[in-house]
Amino acid sequence: MLNAAAVFAEAQIIVTLRKKHFTPQATSRWGIEAQHPDLFLLSLWEENPTQMSKSINEQASRLKRPPISVAELLAQLEKQVPQFVVRVRNSLNTIGRD
């Protein structure tokens, strides 16, 4: 069953690791697309890599006391959003060579 809050909010996307629970038959009626977090984060990165980079740095600095490094944060995210992590790492490596 589709999340009532998503329908009420007129969401365009539901971000979920369990896409099987949000079939196109269930979501298309409402104009909602179910996206895996990896795809969602990749699309946000492509839209605005500068802002996403800032967000990643902020997340790393707030995640634990003491803060963890961006590399440690990416390692934690890698299992759930591997393509996004590869994209961020590649960007960071490119920046480091400039």
Residue 78: both structure tokens together: 């890698």
Same domain, 21 and 49: no
Q: What is the pLDDT of residue 37?
A: 96
Q: What is the pLDDT of residues 2-50, one digit of tens each?
A: 677 787 888 899 999 988 888 888 888 888 999 999 999 999 999 999 9
Mean pLDDT for all residues in the chain: 86
Same domain, 47 and 71: yes
pLDDT at residue 97 greater than cutoff 60: no
Q: What is the pLDDT of residue 7?
A: 79
Residue 49: both structure tokens together: 């890599």
Give me the helices (H) in 1-98, please.
Answer: 4-8, 24-27, 37-47, 49-63, 70-77, 82-97
Amino acid making up residue 94:
T
Same domain, 63 and 80: yes
Same domain, 87 and 55: yes
Q: What is the pLDDT of residue 52?
A: 94
Task: Assess contact for 22 and 1: CB atoms under 8 A.
Answer: no
